Structures are given as structure tokens and as C-alpha cells.
Structure 1
């Protein structure tokens, strides 16, 4: 016996068969029998009731059993209801099984066999319902846990970025730059990476890694780093070492992708398109695209910011200088993207003023 009330829908155009099916289950308080005398009536009942098993005669007027079966199995709301077809024709039963019938009985049917087949299919339906409910519960739990995990990941990312910014600021404070310079670099670099067609993953990688471009300045003496006048050739050679120092600081496990990207940027952001940069004299696309992106953004921000040795240039002056030197310094495609979308970069500059 089933411990819950189950519904059976019997569909047959012969009244005596409906009476017989109802009588078969009359002594079972856990089973309710609904009846329909044709296919159309059965479909109407299904609009307001959800039976656990359908007993379906195949030969009926108006809408025959095969047509009803096709409708049942094509609708999401009824496709999982077990259907036991009644037919005395072997080919009809075989065709019904192909369409999706779950079981069959020859007609005229044996009452005891009908009861056993219905009971078995009710049990199968019950197990399917339990599995469905469990899946729904699990899906809700997975969604909840996923949401919690995503919140934790977002917080971790925010914390990672803040740590990267603070690390970058260690050197920038000594160079009399600000945390806003670090943040501008992140947003400038991500925007240019997006315009260059980098994936979302790489855009975010550049966003997190670009603040580390000058971390190597922690190894440069204050007397050189903060010197208000022109540097001697010897002092400039020492300044150039910040790229090498930065790369050394950021050496790490290859799985730490942000630090790996930061190492590339720190080491290569002073390389020049024509090969005249440092520390390795890389040329053209030998320079990693992350460093080529950061190079443009860094020069723009440096020119438009106050420095210990000079005041900030105006936007027009800065762009003029960059255009003049672009064949030497910058990837021409990236520089064109930067110039063509200058307003977007100026908006970032406005949002993160010193």
C-alpha cells in the first residue's frame, strides 16, 4: 500500500470499463480514480488535476489514445506521468510504446494484473517525484552555496586588489605619487585591454596586475628617486634597475597569475616599440601586450601628473608629446585605440583625481 493518496485517471469510451477500474481500487483509501470517456475530456481534466498514473484506451472516438499519448508526452507538465495503454492489438501497443507509453495491458484486461501494473507504476512515479524534489532542493542549495561562494570570491578579489594597491603605493609614496595614480592605472589599463580585444579574464588580470608596474622602485635610493633636478647618466642607470628589481620581487609560483602578470609588466613596461627601451631592449611584439598596454597608460598618467622635478602637462601638451614620440615608444595599434577613445580615459582621470 502506498502511504499517500494517489490519483489515477482512467480514459476509456466504454462505461463498463471505467466502472470496473473504479471498482478495482474502491477498497484502497490511498487511491482516487478519476474517469474520462474520451481523449478531449481527459485533456480537460488534466488542466486541473495532476494524476500519478493514466490508464489509456487506444481506440476512442473524437481523439484516440495514440493522439492523446502524443500530447501527453510532448507537454512538460504531463510527460513524466506513467501511461498504461489498453489495447488488444499488438501493433497498436508496440506503436504506443515507441511514442512513450510506460506499460500496456491486453484488452479485455485482467483486474488483478491491472491493479499490480498500476501499483508498480505508482511506486515508480513516487520514486521519480522524490528524486525530482531532492534535485530541486539540491539545486536550491547549490544556488545558495554558489551565491555565498561568489560573495566570498568577490570579497577575496576586492581584498586582493586593495593589497595590490597598497603594495604599489609603497613605492609610489616614495616617488611622491598617490594611490589614485595606482587606481587610474588599473582602470586605464583594463579599458585599453578591452579595446584591444583581450578576454574578460585577461582584462581583469591586467586590472589587478598593472598597479605593480613600479613596485621595484622600493629598491631605488631616495636621493635618486626624489631628486628634483636632472639625473646623471649613472643615476639614470640605477633608476632603470627598478624594472629588474620589480621582476625579482614578483617572482612566484606560476599558478599565481596576478603576480606573474605583474612580473611581466614590472619588467617590460619601459621597453620601447623600436627596441630602444630597457632592461632587455625588446622590440615590437617581443614586448608582452600587457606591458605595451601599461606603457601607454603610465606615460599618459605621468605626463598629466605633478612630479618632484616638474609640474603636470596639460592634456593637449601630453597628447602632443606622446604623438611625437609614439613611433619610438608605443605599439601603434594600441596607441591609435588610446587616442581614438581619449574621452573615455579622461573620464577615468576625472573619477580618480589626486
Structure 2
């Protein structure tokens, strides 16, 4: 009926043990005899699996109460069912309170004994099966969770790589150095960290900031590459790079980096006082990612020589930007930025000193 069933029979009276053994032989199980409480514990320790203990309460060395207490308090043994054999009905409540699974009254009733023993063995085997099944399921869930995490990591890495390539495409259009994008990326993440943006969102900002000027792909060369000052009409056309960038990355809400890049591309020229473009957003209507990028973008642009301007000194840059606090820039973020300006200057200087375009996601992660 069951394979490899092991039952411990415990009583200090050999005649009672003989009687129990004879009654249970029909189950074709391994019966282990114990004459005292310590022998019960020794038998449980020695056997690889015990399915049931049928035990008298009055035994030498350790009585049945103490054996029951130890079995039910042991983390490895507490699932072993214990059936107590007793001639005193007053003992039943006590042993059940201690954790006994069932009891058999003396003198034995053969049919009752068989049913009670069979029920306990069946329950034990079902519990073991459920435990084994749960263990297998936990292993499978762990495997599938690991596989899912790997797939998600791969998908996110792919998203990052796409962001990098799109950012470089815009960079090649307006002939800025690869270090400009790298500078925007690293400085944006650092300012985000200082501003208390959660770590996972700072990682998204790190890569999404690469996409701030991706819309320049759609600006004609005659305007994008013009060395002199733009006419009002040309400047109006140049401002369209924000909208173009937003359109390029629209419909990607399931991809956090691309969606964040869309927001940054659209909003990084908005101003705190509402006089920016393309929509005239004001204050905290502007996403914090865009507010961060606008600061580090202008900071790097002012410090860097371009075809249409000289490089400004750190002191000049600070003066120009602080004059725009509360108008162009979020005053809190700008104050935080210049509170740590030496760190940002060191980052900017080191990035431009190593001015070669990054080639892949792996180089950016270093």
C-alpha cells in the first residue's frame, strides 16, 4: 500500500509490543521496537525516515510526555505523527495539547487501531509528498525567475544600446564630440543622485539623457551646421528638434529608457519661468529629468569651445547660470549643482580629456 513505511512501537511491556506488532503486520511496514523513551529518540535519529510513532506514556528513562515534547519541538522531527496509547482518559487532553496527533485507548480495539494508524500514515505520506512537490516547484520557480531576470536584463541592455546609438546619430549630425554625450550622461546621473532620485531612476536618467538632442536628426544642415547666428526663422526651425525628438521616441511607454528619453528631448529647453519651448511648461510641470539635463547641458556647452563661441571659464559659467536661477533653471537643483561644482568640474574635465566617442554599452558602464 505504501513503500518503505517505518513505524516505531514503544512500550516497556514486551507483551504489549508483541500485540501491537501482530496487529500491524498486515501493513507490510518496517516495525521498530523500543522499550523506553530514549530508545524512541535513538530510533528516530538512526532511521532515515519515520512515518509514525505509536507510544505508551508510562516508560522508563524518558516517559512518553517528555518524548512527545522533544519530538514536537525538534525542527526535523515535528512532522512525525505520534499516536499515544493510554488507559487513562484524563491523559488524552494533556497529550493532545503537547502535540500528539491521535490516541488509542487500552485495551486495543483491532479495527480502531488499524484505522487510526492507517490515517496517520496516509496523512504523513501526503504531507511528505506536498513538501517534496513544493521543493520541486520552488526550484523551478527559482530557475524561471532567474531566466526572467536574465531576459529582462538583456532587454534593458538592448534598450540602453539603442539609446546610445540614437544619441550618437544626433552627435554626428551636429559634429559635437562624443565626450559631450558622455559628459551629459554622467553629470546628469550624478546630479540626480544628489537630488535624491532613486537609484534605478538615476540609471534610466544616465542613458535617457543621451537622447536629449536626438531630434537634431531632422534639422537641415544649413541650420544645424551654420557657424554664425541664426535668423529668427532659422531659430524657430532649430527649436523643432525638441518636437522631432519626441515624435521619434513616441509610443514606447513600455520601454522606460526610451520613454524617459522622449520626455527629456521634449522638455530640456523648457524654462522654470515658463518662457522656454516647445510648450512653455513652468516650474515642476517640467519633468525633473529634463530639469537636470538642462543644467548639465548648458554647463558643458558653456565650458566647451564650439564653432560659434569660445569656451567660457568656470567662473564665467557659474555667473551666467546663476543669473538664470529661477528663470531658466530650477533654483533648487541649480543651487545643489553649484554646491558640488568642483566635483562636476572634475568630472567634465576628465571626460573631455579622454575625448574619444564611446562605442558600446559596455564602455559606458565602466
TM (normalized to structure 2)?
Answer: 0.82
1:54-76 Cα offsets, whole Å, 9 max, x none, are: 22334456654344434433333
1:147 — aligned with what? 146
**Partner SS, residue 327 of structure 2:** helix
* Structure 1 counterpart of 2:301: 302
Q: Deviations over 1:191-220 (max 9, x none)?
A: 333332333443344334322211211121
- The answer on 1:162 being equivalent to 2:161 is yes
Q: C-alpha displacement at 1:160, in angstroms?
A: 1.0
Equivalent in the alignment of 1:289: 288
Shift of residue 228, structure 1, vs aligned partner: 2.2
- 1:305 and 1:83, CA in 2 relative to 1: closer, same or farther beyond 3 A? farther
Return the alpha-carbon distance in structure 2 between the equivalents of residues 52 and 256 of structure 1.
Answer: 54
Mark the CA change 1:297 to 1:104 in structure 2 (over 3 Å): closer, same or farther. farther
Q: Are residues 87 and 281 of structure 1, via their aligned partners in 2, closer, same or farther at CA, if it must alter by over 3 Å?
A: same
Q: Does the C-alpha gap of structure 1 residues 298 and 99 become closer, same or farther in structure 2, counting only changes over 3 Å?
A: farther
1:192 partnered with 2:191: yes
Q: Partners in 2 of 1:332 and 1:63 — Cα distance?
A: 78
**Unaligned ranges ≥5, structure 1:** none
Q: In structure 1, what is the Cα distance between the partners aligned to 2:283 and 2:296? A: 17
Range moving further from structure 2, 117-126 or 310-319: 310-319
Q: Which residue of 2 aligns with 1:42?
A: 40
Could you tell me whether the CA contact under 8 Å between 1:7 and 1:34 is conserved in 2? no
Q: Provide the residue aligned with 1:51 in structure 2.
A: 50
1:234-273 alpha-carbon deviations (Å, 9 max, x no partner): 3323222211222232221644444433222111111222
| Aligned residues between the structures | 352
Change (3 A) 1:292 1:8: same
Q: CA deviation at 1:166?
A: 0.9
Q: Is the 8 A contact 1:175 1:225 kept in 2?
A: yes
| TM-score, normalization by structure 1 | 0.84
Structure 2 equivalent of residue 222 of structure 1: 221
- Cross-structure match for 1:121: 120
State the Cα distance separating 1:105 from its structure 2 match: 1.2
**Structure 1: how far apart are the matches of 2:257 and 2:70?**
55
| Counterpart position of 2:359 | none
Task: Please show how residues 79-94 of structure 1 align to structure 2 within 5 Å.
Answer: 79-94=78-93
Provide closer, same or farther for how the CA distance between residues 198 and 72 of structure 1 changes in structure 2, counting only shifts above 3 A: farther
> Is the 2:159–2:257 Cα contact (8 Å) retained in structure 1?
no
Q: How many angstroms does 1:326 deviate by? A: 3.4
The answer on whether the counterparts of 1:216 and 1:249 sit within 8 Å (CA) in structure 2 is yes
Cα distance in 2 for partners of 1:273, 1:344 equals 25
Map 1:248-287 onto structure 2 (within 5 A).
248-252=247-251, 254-287=253-286
Judged with a 3 Å threshold, the aligned counterparts in structure 2 of structure 1 residues 142 and 183 are, in CA distance, closer, same or farther, namely farther
1:172 and 1:130, CA in 2 relative to 1: closer, same or farther beyond 3 A? same
Instruction: Give the distance between the partners of 2:50 and 2:81, measured in 1 at CA.
Output: 9
Alpha-carbon spacing, 1:308–1:30, altered in 2? closer, same or farther (3 Å): farther
* Secondary structure, aligned partner of 1:326: coil
Match of 1:236 in 2: 235
| TM-align CA RMSD | 3.1
Confirm or deny: 8 A CA contact 1:22 1:33 kept in the other structure. no
1:9 touches 1:34 (CA, 8 Å); kept in 2?
yes
Gaps of 5+ in 2: 356-366
Q: 1:246 to 1:24 in 2, by over 3 A?
A: same
Quick one: structure 1 residues 331 and 64, their matched pair in 2 at CA, closer, same or farther if it must change by over 3 Å? farther
